[in-house]
Amino acid sequence: MTNPLRAEVVRLYKNLLHLGREYPKGGDYFRDRLRAAFAKNRSVEDPQQIRALITRGEFVARELEALYYLRKYRAMKKRYYED
């Protein structure tokens, strides 16, 4: 029996994997942690718990995007303004 939320979980995993490529500690570090986090929650079957975990994963994705935007902003500010 397949879970209807499986497609969302796979989409979230791929999105996080893509975002993790530019993680400050390296893509391999991020991929290992991501795989461990998804493996830890592999046995969860309750749709409400899965939905909560997806929401948490989407929050992590937004935080990663904010981290990257901040890094880009700091790099641009450093180029154009002298301290």
pLDDT, one tens digit for every residue, the chain (83 residues): 467 899 999 999 999 999 999 888 999 999 999 999 999 999 988 999 999 999 999 999 999 999 999 999 999 998 898 76
Residue 2, pLDDT score = 61
Q: Are 23 and 29 in contact (CB under 8 A)?
A: yes
Residue 4, pLDDT score = 83
**For the chain, how big is the Rg over CA atoms in Å?**
16
Q: Which DSSP letter does residue 42 get?
A: T
Instruction: Using a cut of 0.95, tell me whether the model's pTM lies above it.
Output: no
Residue 1, pLDDT score = 47
